[in-house]
A and B are shown apart, each in its own frame.
Chain A
């Protein structure tokens, strides 16, 4: 009985011991063949990171957070237990972040060059790496709560801007904008039409230019030939004759130019006289318009005109009466 008791107790204790030790090793994923290496990372703050949180490299779990402690100068140091066979980046940095929406934090080991381009994160990594040493620089990404808070703030700003835009763009403003767009479209259509119409003339001008260019080329050839002939004629004294004729022509031109100058002086004198006449006429007309002088009075006072018209009418009646009854007015007697 005594031996049986000892055996049963012993086997129970051994089984329990094996369960506890084996379970602990299996659950903690401890590899007894490959001992872990502990690296220390320095953070300004660690968010929701806790002891036992996974350490990942390129998404693969390579270790766990072994310890977290407060350090000098407001730093937080974490011991990261990483498998010894893991090849780490050249400049490893530790980034603590929420691994999912449910608050599971983890540490991701990345190379300093491959860290996210977030300026704040980079600044924190630089700050954490400034003291140097074997400690890895560490930084924390915002968790879902902080992101939600930021998103809420951005949504509020967008709502505010939308309200302001809505207030600025009332119905009349929108109609103005639509009208402007309509006008702009019409202008664009007209411009297109203009361009279409000008395309033909432009093509014609271009072709003319081409023809002209061809003709200029031909003329150039003819000039070349002429120059060749001039060159050959130099020896016969024809050039001297030409030059003499040209000189005489130039003298004639100078004389003609002198005559033209005199003519122009005469024209200028006449122009001044004409200007004076026009100014006098203008003054006269101004006086007439303003009712000054006899002519002005005549022009502005209709009474004289009416009376004159009435006199003319009476004169016409008188003439008619004279023609009809000449004896009344004229008497011819020989004796």
Chain B
């Protein structure tokens, strides 16, 4: 029993030490923009722009479901213009950032982990180190910056599309006018609602990129290891999103 606890403690200490070393390397790599800067735009395209369709797809159906659900809950009890308030508030502050983050955790986190894991198991990372290229500056920092910048962009579009789809649903499928819907949206809107969601999504992007990079660079064992790292990156990314979501709710609300 004592040996078992000892092993667990040593493993945890090793994890903390490696994470600290990794964070220190990444921080140091920020001071090498000559290496990472050219990589940022392509990563923004891959991680951000290419993720817009899936984020918008999710947002459309989120808006529809929210409008119908709000109407189902409110009919007969609360004025229906509250549908607008509920759809807008929920999408701006919670569902927009979180669902987009979850979707991108699957797409972006898995993408980064698989790419870096493959480079690791095929010794391309070793080759870069041999060429005296800072691996963190070349691989990790541009992806992290790209995800941090582009997640709010994708989330903002998802929020807009989600509200619009909720409005279209409310006016076409429910007995609700445009004026009533946006009366509810405006009545409860605060500027904080918008930046709260965008700040959260930026933190989600950063976390997903870091988890993907961390698990990818620690991949071992060939193709099987790449698969494990990819799965692990997605799981860690989703967990990070939920933890950060609760954290921001505690801190900012």
In the bound complex, residues from chain A placing their C-beta under 8 Å from that of B150 are 9, 12-13
Please provide the chain B residues from 32 to 73 with a CB less than 8 Å away from any CB of chain A in the complex: 41-42, 44-45, 48-49, 52
Report the nearest A residue to B194, measured CB to CB: A24
Q: How large is the interface on B (under 10, 10 to 19, 20 to 34, 35 or more residues)?
A: 20 to 34
Question: B198, A20: Cβ atoms under 8 Å?
Answer: yes
Q: A23 at interface (Cβ–Cβ under 8 A)?
A: yes
Give Cα A27–Cα B154 distance, bound, in whole angstroms.
20
Report the minimum CB–CB distance from B186 to chain A (whole Å): 6
Question: B194, A23: Cβ atoms under 8 Å?
Answer: yes
Question: B41, A2: Cβ atoms under 8 Å?
Answer: yes
Q: B178 at interface (Cβ–Cβ under 8 A)?
A: no
Question: Could you mark each residue 17-44 of chain A with 1 if its beta carbon is under 8 Å from any beta carbon of chain B, else 0?
Answer: 1011001100111000000000000000
Report the nearest A residue to B160, measured CB to CB: A19
Please provide the chain A residues from 46 to 87 with a CB less than 8 Å away from any CB of chain B in the complex: 51-52, 54
Give Cα A19–Cα B156 distance, bound, in whole angstroms.
7
Give Cα A13–Cα B40 distance, bound, in whole angstroms.
14
Q: B157 at interface (Cβ–Cβ under 8 A)?
A: yes
Q: A5 at interface (Cβ–Cβ under 8 A)?
A: yes
Question: A13, B41: Cβ atoms under 8 Å?
Answer: no
Question: B198, A9: Cβ atoms under 8 Å?
Answer: no
Q: B185 at interface (Cβ–Cβ under 8 A)?
A: yes
In the bound complex, residues from chain B placing their C-beta under 8 Å from that of A100 are 79
A2-B41, A6-B41, A102-B78 given; A12·B48 CB < 8 A: yes
Which of B48, B79, B185, B189 meets A9, CB within 8 Å? B48
Report the nearest B residue to A13, measured CB to CB: B153
Report the nearest B residue to A9, measured CB to CB: B44
Q: B142 at interface (Cβ–Cβ under 8 A)?
A: no
Question: Could you mark each residue 129-160 of chain B with 1 if its beta carbon is under 8 Å from any beta carbon of chain A, else 0?
Answer: 00000000000000000000110111011011
Main secondary structure of the interface of A (DSSP, over half): helix
Question: B194, A102: Cβ atoms under 8 Å?
Answer: no
Q: B188 at interface (Cβ–Cβ under 8 A)?
A: yes
In the bound complex, residues from chain B placing their C-beta under 8 Å from that of A28 are 186, 189, 191
In the bound complex, residues from chain B placing their C-beta under 8 Å from that of A285 are none
Number of interface residues of A (CB under 8 A): 23
Question: B45, A9: Cβ atoms under 8 Å?
Answer: yes
Question: A52, B157: Cβ atoms under 8 Å?
Answer: no
Report the minimum CB–CB distance from B37 to chain A (whole Å): 13
Give Cα A19–Cα B52 distance, bound, in whole angstroms.
14
Q: B2 at interface (Cβ–Cβ under 8 A)?
A: no
Give Cα A20–Cα B96 distance, bound, in whole angstroms.
13
Give Cα A52–Cα B88 distance, bound, in whole angstroms.
15
Q: A265 at interface (Cβ–Cβ under 8 A)?
A: no
A12-B49, A12-B150, A28-B189 given; A23·B160 CB < 8 A: yes
Q: B75 at interface (Cβ–Cβ under 8 A)?
A: no
Q: A16 at interface (Cβ–Cβ under 8 A)?
A: yes
Report the nearest B residue to A21, measured CB to CB: B194
Q: B187 at interface (Cβ–Cβ under 8 A)?
A: yes
In the bound complex, residues from chain A placing their C-beta under 8 Å from that of B88 are 27
Question: B41, A9: Cβ atoms under 8 Å?
Answer: yes
Question: A12, B52: Cβ atoms under 8 Å?
Answer: yes
Report the minimum CB–CB distance from B209 to chain A (whole Å): 16
In the bound complex, residues from chain B placing their C-beta under 8 Å from that of A334 are none
Which of A9, A27, A51 meets B49, CB within 8 Å? A9
In the bound complex, residues from chain B placing their C-beta under 8 Å from that of A113 are none
Q: A188 at interface (Cβ–Cβ under 8 A)?
A: no
Q: A120 at interface (Cβ–Cβ under 8 A)?
A: no
A27-B186, A27-B189, A102-B79 given; A8·B156 CB < 8 A: no
Q: B6 at interface (Cβ–Cβ under 8 A)?
A: no
Question: B160, A52: Cβ atoms under 8 Å?
Answer: no
Q: A189 at interface (Cβ–Cβ under 8 A)?
A: no
Give Cα A233–Cα B194 distance, bound, in whole angstroms.
125
- Residue among B45, B149, B188 with most chain A CB within 10 A: B45
In the bound complex, residues from chain B placing their C-beta under 8 Å from that of A15 are 153, 157
Question: B190, A52: Cβ atoms under 8 Å?
Answer: yes
Give Cα A163–Cα B24 distance, bound, in whole angstroms.
81
Report the nearest A residue to B146, measured CB to CB: A9
* Known contacts A12-B154, A13-B150, A16-B154, then 11 further A-B pairs from the complex at CB < 8 Å, ordered by chain A residue: A8-B45, A12-B49, A15-B157, A16-B152, A19-B160, A20-B156, A23-B194, A27-B185, A29-B186, A52-B190, A102-B79
- Sorted nearest first, the 10 A-B pairs with minimum C-beta distance are A16-B153, A16-B156, A5-B45, A27-B189, A52-B190, A9-B44, A19-B160, A8-B49, A20-B156, A12-B49
